[in-house]
Amino acid sequence: MTVAVYPGSFDPVTLGHFDIIERSSAIMDKVIVAVLNNNSKTPLFSVEERVKMLVDVTRHFPNVEVRSFGGLLVDFVQECHAGVIVRGLRAVTDFEYELQMAQTNHVIAPEVDTVFLTTNLKYSYLSSSIVKEIAMYGGDISAFVHPLVAERIRAKLTGTDPQ
């Protein structure tokens, strides 16, 4: 059984992330989407909110699970008994950082390999930061995120968030 971990900040999950989740769930037996709980960054959404949004948009995939993690990614991968890390590659600009991470992780944990999926061309320009910036200035983000996520961003930015 091939278990893969798809890690990231997901602040928030975009349609680009969703595309990687959908495609990796079709080729892996199980995909664990792993949300980084990183205290040194100031995210728009708490880790619990990010996990909840991911659970809501992926609930129709029976082999996708969403969890949060702190510390080293490879430790979490081993805790999950997974052997694969999935990452999306948008453009050549992602490559250097991704290669460095994949090689470092492989040195720390040689039994763990990283698999890259090239992002769908439709989303090759997309990032969570861009989505947040557009939303902050009142722009339309419906082409970039799931409607449920768009609603949570709007609620967060207008202070009408019930959470």
Provide CB contacts within 8 A for 113, sequence distance 6+: 83, 84, 85, 106
Question: For residues 101 and 157, which CB has a smaller minimum distance to ligand PNS in the complex?
Answer: 101
Provide CB contacts within 8 A for 30, sequence distance 6+: 1, 2, 3, 4, 63, 64, 65, 82
16 binds ligand PNS (CB under 6 A): no
Active site residue 90: yes
d(CA 61, CA 117): 18
User: Where does residue 126 fall: left (phi above 0), alpha (psi -120 to 50 degrees), or beta otherwise?
Assistant: beta
Task: Tell me the pairing of strands 84-89 and 30-36.
Answer: unpaired
Q: 7, 12, 43, 88: which one contacts ligand PNS (CB under 6 A)?
A: 7
Active site residue 128: yes
12 binds ligand PNS (CB under 6 A): no
Residue count at the site for ligand PNS (CB under 6 A)?
A: 9
Pattern 64-103, binding to ligand PNS, x per CB under 6 A? --------xx---------------------------x--
Active site residue 9: no
Instruction: By CB under 6 A, name the binding residues for ligand PNS.
Output: 7-9, 36, 72-73, 101, 104-105
Which residues are catalytic, by number? 17, 41, 90, 128
